[in-house]
Structure 1
Amino acid sequence: MLEQSTIEAIARELADADREKSVIPRITARYPDATIEDSYAIQGVWRDQNIAAGRTLVGRKIGLTSKAMQAATGITEPDYGVMFDDTVYESGSVIPFDDFSNVRIEVELAFVLKTPLEGPNCSLFDVLRATEYVTPALEVLNSHIELEGRTIVDTISDNAAYGGMVLGGNPMRPDDIDLRWVGAMLYRNETIEETGLAGGVLGHPGMGVAWLANTFHQHGARLEAGEIILAGSFTRPMWVSKGDAVVCDYGRMGTITCRFQ
């Protein structure tokens, strides 16, 4: 594993890149022996610094849970990151494009928990019982590490490339709809760019939440009531440019809109 001083130095680099909207060289190019444990340690230092600075953690994002995303990134195992209150947008928001780097959009469902959720044997049924409602969500990707040749170690270190999320549509209780069959059509400037079904996320989007609860248990932690959990994208990421209008139609679960300015 990396020395603690190296972990803290990389976390500072990523914090600087976030402030400057810049990109740093791949961690794995400089430290080829860096492990997944190192990457979560880097993320943890960055997270704790943000909390100490007054930001409020509101949930977690899960990434790389679908074949579509794994094929798009070349990374074949899930990861997770943290979400702060100042990264949450309502449908219809105008989002400052220059606040992000390598801006892309992913189509997801968000689970809002009414009770805590923990492993080690958390199942899909446990997730559904613990969920107050599920709502459409778009994730805004924000990458501060060069994309070419990036590995899961690089992605996790960079808070799993999370930048923000847009919530909207028609939130529903998990027993009111078969979440596997929630479909979405993602438009950029009135042109359909991506479509998909939520069942592409591990067979059921709730399985991503179960995976996260079981993973957290290995570190003596759990998901708390009130947290928002992004279950993972069921489409490939869509690149956006300054001035683009984004619409995502989830059918029965409603529509999300946003614009980047």
Structure 2
Amino acid sequence: MDRVLAAAKAIASARRSRAPLKALPKDVVPRDEAEGYQVQYALHALMQPHVGSLVGYKIGCTSAVMQEYINIPHPCGGGVFEKVVHDSGVQLPAAEFVHVGVECEIAVRLARDLAPSEAPFTAEWVAEAIDAYYPAIEIVDDRYVKWETLGAPTLIADDFFAAGCVLGEAVPRINMPDLRAVAGRAIVNGKEEGRGTGADVLGHPHNALAWLANHLATEGRGLHAGQIVLTGSLVKTVWLKAGDTVVMELDGLGKVEATFT
């Protein structure tokens, strides 16, 4: 486990100093995705004094457009922390990120725990555990010298670009539209930069949530009541510059806005 902790410390140090991460030293780079997740969990413990407690997860690479863009053919998970969950309308300094980007997402809040002992989970099963949905902006950060060269294990170790989220108004499950048909639009400074539908997220966002619950269960971990899960981007990542205002509009769920000053 020493190499796991050494990798986590190297990533934590880069994050705290906002220094773009180069490839990890050969003797600590995670050898496979399973070890990448071990490093990620060690990183979460190291980061909590700075970003608060773990309040949920993000799921990356859930749509064809994102799998093609990142060149990873399956979903990947990362953590979401208390101090980087924001309300719609937030203004955030662009200088707090190495290179900030945004994604258009459907987020869910869990009404109950999904314990590892309940696995395997299906989309229908996890749907029953949701109490609300949100239009969401996932904030991502390209905090790498060249992410294309790092490989999935290292990107997973560093929470797969996760840098927080912005949530709109909660929509109770009883009022939820057909998520497959929900169209999402990413609008930057009044100009549409991407669009997609809920069906682009593994066929249905609930499939992504089931993937996460099953993935965590293999490691003896569960999801907990009150946690937020970002189910994956409907659009290709939009990279921003200081001064940009972003609005994500999701039909039937509402809209969510943020400005990066």
Match of 2:40 among 38, 43, 62: 43
Deviation at 1:29, TM superposition (A): 7.1
TM-score with structure 2 setting the length = 0.92
Partner Cα distance (1:32, 1:46) in 2? 14
Matched residue, 1:196: 196
Deviation at 1:170, TM superposition (A): 5.4
CA pair 98-211 structure 1, distance change in 2 beyond 3 A: same
Equivalence map 1:1-261=2 (5 Å): 4-27=1-24, 34-51=31-48, 55-118=52-115, 119-145=118-144, 146-169=146-169, 171-173=171-173, 176-261=176-261
The residue identity in structure 1 corresponding to 2:60 is G
Deviation at 1:54, TM superposition (A): 7.9
Identity of aligned residues (%): 30
Partner Cα distance (2:62, 2:256) in 1? 22
Partner Cα distance (2:29, 2:111) in 1? 41
CA pair 132-189 structure 1, distance change in 2 beyond 3 A: same
CA pair 174-136 structure 1, distance change in 2 beyond 3 A: farther
Q: Deviations over 1:5-33 (max 9, x none)?
A: 32222211211111111112123877677
Aligned CA-pair RMSD: 2.0
Partner Cα distance (1:177, 1:139) in 2? 21
CA pair 60-194 structure 1, distance change in 2 beyond 3 A: same
Q: Deviations over 1:166-211 (max 9, x none)?
A: 0004524166311111111111111110001011011000111101
Partner Cα distance (1:251, 1:126) in 2? 25
Unaligned runs of 5+ in 2: none
SS state of the match for residue 39, structure 1?
helix
Unaligned runs of 5+ in 1: none
Deviation at 1:124, TM superposition (A): 1.1
CA contact under 8 A between 2:7 and 2:29: conserved in structure 1? no
CA pair 54-259 structure 1, distance change in 2 beyond 3 A: closer
SS state of the match for residue 80, structure 1?
strand
Partner Cα distance (1:174, 1:143) in 2? 37
CA contact under 8 A between 2:132 and 2:173: conserved in structure 1? yes
CA contact under 8 A between 1:208 and 1:232: conserved in structure 2? yes
CA pair 39-76 structure 1, distance change in 2 beyond 3 A: same
User: How many residues are paired up?
Assistant: 258
